[in-house]
Amino acid sequence: MIEAPPTDTTGVTRSGERILRCPGAEVVLNWAPSCGSCHACTLGEVWLCANALNGAADVYARRASDGRDLHPGLNVAAFAEETVVSANCVLPLPEGIPLTDAALLGCAVLTGYGAVHHAARVRTGETVAVYGVGGVGLAALQAARIAGASRIVAVDVSPAKEELARGAGATDYVVASDTTAREIRALTGKQGVDVAVECVGRAATIRTAWDSTRRGGRTTVVGIGGKDQQVTFNALELFHWGRTLAGCVYGNSDPARDLPVLAEHVRAGRLDLGALVTERIGLEGIPAAFENMLAGKGGRALVVF
């Protein structure tokens, strides 16, 4: 049991308009709200906001048993039946979106869709490889299909994820190995894909994703790796291949701008949120879900009360 401290139920949007409490409103939580005033925000790069995670340092609640301060995981403390968030973490859910499925929009879908459309900027007819068939990777596969990619290769260590990947839009499936880049080049006329989207965050996977793109290709790194994960290149290959390697934060998305776009894709049947969910669990199932994720099993588990 936790005891939440008093909180202000109003906030200010980037336009300065007041946000008022609306009991019963269906909303999507944004774990990285932009402040609107830092250098990145003034450049329109709200996904790089310097103050996005400031709320995670605030006292979110106090444990009733001993008064210990509790802090919100990624601003929103979403592993709970109830939560208290800042007003700028709340976005109205567009009409016509099932509330349960909408939980995926706040992170996995914005990230995967944005990685393809905003960061990699996949164009109609291009070939794409997506590394990692988890929640974000499945969203990226659907986004590549929506973008009109001509060939979409899904890569994962688990052979069991092939059906999931093909259901999301993959035209080909490769089980990750030491020959992955070579297999992808064989699928693309020995050229390599135009775009690789890495959703794992491992040095070896990033390097393989880069190796699997054509000369002049683009690699977008979505996965969050550790600081001990070192990716190395030699100077000659950087010149010869002319490839681009770029990081991607939260899909380079602006949730306020992109949420209505995603909702329209859902309503039109182009984006299937339910297909990303491989398991529906209660709070008690969270530890097992993390174990499955670490073991490379399943796509995205959804907590349902």
Using the CB atoms, write b or e for 5-20: b if 16+ within 10 Å: eeeeeebeeeeeeeee
The Cβ of residue 260 has, within 10 Å, a number of other Cβ atoms equal to 12
Global pTM reads 0.88
The pLDDT value given to residue 21: 62
Which residue stretches of the chain have pLDDT < 70?
Answer: 1-21, 298-299
- Spatial separation of the C-alpha atoms in residues 90 and 255, rounded to whole Å: 10
The pLDDT value given to residue 298: 65
pLDDT (tens digit, 9 = 90+) per residue, 174-185?
999 999 999 999
The pLDDT value given to residue 110: 96
The pLDDT value given to residue 148: 98
Tokens standing for residue 86 = 């800042």
The pLDDT value given to residue 5: 39
Query: What is the residue extent of each domain of the chain?
Result: 2-92, 109-250
Q: What architecture (CATH level 2) is domain 109-250?
A: 3-Layer(aba) Sandwich (3.40)
89: Cβ–Cβ under 8 A, 6 or more apart, which residues? 29, 30, 31, 33, 55, 75, 76
The pLDDT value given to residue 83: 86
pLDDT (tens digit, 9 = 90+) per residue, 201-252?
999 999 999 999 999 999 999 999 999 999 999 999 999 999 999 999 999 9
- Spatial separation of the C-alpha atoms in residues 253 and 115, rounded to whole Å: 8
Look up tokens 């349902």; give the residue: 304
